[in-house]
Amino acid sequence: MHGNSEMQKINQTSAMPEKTDVHWSGRFSVAPMLDWTDRHCRYFLRLLSRNTLLYTEMVTTGAIIHGKGDYLAYSEEEHPVALQLGGSDPAALAQCAKLAEARGYDEINLNVGCPSDRVQNGMFGACLMGNAQLVADCVKAMRDVVSIPVTVKTRIGIDDQDSYEFLCDFINTVSGKGECEMFIIHARKAWLSGLSPKENREIPPLDYPRVYQLKRDFPHLTMSINGGIKSLEEAKAHLQHMDGVMVGREAYQNPGILAAVDREIFGSSDTDADPVAVVRAMYPYIERELSQGTYLGHITRH
């Protein structure tokens, strides 16, 4: 396993570490990205960085509870790895959280940021920002049955509910009544209609200062910033204000960015990952997966 001792210590409690703990993997993470961050992609990214916290694609509670596939499958080498859940039924989320903890996941994350129509029809994702009490109930239900961290990934607002007061009220409710101690904030609002998920990642303007202010106003909470981050230099600049940085599309489209993360972000003295060696290290994994019936294209499509 690639999880380090610090991560194991963190997993023993739902309390989040202080900003000064440079060994906390949440200081740098790769975002959950539907159709992209599957277990094959995560295995590859782990070869580039031993410390980066990796997130699964969003998995719905319905898929886990009623689906025929093993939606919680991952490789032990992926640690530290977090499961992102999509859902709004506290009991179903609690059931899935227990299953995920039993499978060894290091964190459970609730999706309150995806604006997709598919997601809204299932009453989860960004539309949940409009019902902070329900989000609090969902988080509390999961926290009551697991000891690993339960976190929330959200936006800075939805539709016309985009005032700073609205955002603060949401955080206050979910952290208070829901006892959530860590939030990942995508520094854009989400339009629940009129924009595609892709457009929602690009058209609403980024507002990093608002997220910085949120951290200042809630210093007791652990907060990570997400949205439009394209380099380690940018990540380090954000870390002057935030506890963690989450990188999305750039980590997938330019995975080489992870090669220096352990040294630049986590202070490791190890040599940066060599891209050629990383590709070669995928060969045994591919052979193992093929022997278990995995289609080659499911791996090489990345």
What are 9-52's pLDDT values in tens digits?
A: 323 333 444 444 555 789 999 999 988 999 999 999 999 999 99
Given a contact cutoff of 8 angstroms between Cβ atoms, the answer to whether 241 and 229 are in contact is no
What are 219-241's pLDDT values in tens digits?
A: 999 999 999 999 999 999 999 99
Q: Report whether the peptide linkage leading into residue 80 is cis, meaning its omega lies within 30 degrees of zero.
A: yes
CA 127 to chain CA centroid, Å, is 18
The total of other beta-carbon atoms located within 10 Å of residue 76's CB is: 10
Establish if 117 belongs to a structural domain. Answer: yes
249 annotated to a ligand binding site: yes
186 annotated to a ligand binding site: yes
Query: Of 241, 215, 245, 240, which is closest to residue 230 (Cα–Cα)?
Result: 245
Listed range (3-7, 150-154, 164-168, 224-228) with the worst mean pLDDT: 3-7
> Does the global pTM surpass 0.85?
yes
Catalytic residues: 114
Establish if 95 belongs to a structural domain. Answer: yes
Establish if 134 belongs to a structural domain. Answer: yes
244 annotated to a ligand binding site: no
Establish if 9 belongs to a structural domain. Answer: no
The two structure tokens encoding residue 271? 């040599």
Establish if 225 belongs to a structural domain. Answer: yes
**What is the dihedral sign for C-alpha 37, 42, 45, 50?**
positive
Given a contact cutoff of 8 angstroms between Cβ atoms, the answer to whether 47 and 302 are in contact is no
297 annotated to a ligand binding site: no
Listed range (30-39, 78-87, 195-204, 217-226) with the worst mean pLDDT: 195-204
The two structure tokens encoding residue 199? 């457009």
Q: What is the mean pLDDT of the chain?
A: 89
Establish if 16 belongs to a structural domain. Answer: no
Q: Find tokens 């093929």 and name the residue.
A: 290
Give percent above pLDDT 70 in the chain.
90
Instruction: Report the domain count for the chain.
Output: 1
Establish if 245 belongs to a structural domain. Answer: yes
What are 116-153's pLDDT values in tens digits?
A: 766 656 678 999 999 999 999 999 999 999 999 999 99
Query: Of 36, 38, 95, 85, which is closest to residue 60 (Cα–Cα)?
Result: 85
The whole-number average pLDDT for the span 106-110 is 97
Q: Give the structural domain span for 179.
A: 23-300
Which class for 230: exposed (0-12), middle (13-18), buried (19 or more C-beta within 10 A)?
A: middle
- Give the containing element (helix H, strand E) for 62: helix 61-66
With a cut of 90, say whether residue 115 has pLDDT above it. no
Establish if 275 belongs to a structural domain. Answer: yes
**What is the dihedral sign for C-alpha 158, 111, 23, 35?**
negative
176 annotated to a ligand binding site: no
**CATH number for 175:** 3.20.20.70
